[in-house]
Amino acid sequence: MELTYKLRELDTAVKFILENTKSKTLLFYGEMGAGKTTLIKELVKALGVTGATSSPTFSLVNHYDSDEGSVYHFDLYRLNDESEALDIGIEDYLDSDNWILIEWPEKIKNLMGENTQKLIIKVMSSEERMLKFC
């Protein structure tokens, strides 16, 4: 299942994700600059988070309270190995019933359970992306 969208139509991509996901643990794959963080920020807003959101590049995880409960946004780009994820308690997050949004999940592929939804973002042009469920 896939969707091609314009960057100015992020709400369409967010709606597509929320209507089609099989899990609250979403794994975002895509090259640097594909728009993972931008899409996640819009998704967080759609989940009812109010206030500022930012990329957790330096802290690895940001926690937000929403109408849907807690939302955790992980950016694992700077992670050197899986032990660093274990040090921050990633398993506890993954075992929760909260929304878990992970950029660069390939960095912890051995820690991922089966109850996840993989999403690939592919750059089609400077203004267009393809979002594919896997």
Helix, strand, coil percent values for the chain (each to nearest 5): 30, 30, 35
pLDDT confidence tier of residue 68, bands split at 50, 70 and 90? confident
- Alpha-carbon distance of 5 to 130, in angstroms, equals 6
pLDDT greater than 70 at residue 55 = no
Helix or strand run (H / E) with residue 47:
none
Angle at 20 between CA 64 and CA 108, to 5 degrees: 55
- Domain 2-133 CATH assignment equals 3.40.50.200: no
Output the pLDDT for position 107: 95
Instruction: Note the pTM of the prediction, 2 decimals.
Output: 0.92
Cα-trace Rg, the chain:
14
Residue 109 makes CB contacts below 8 A (sequence gap 6+) with: none
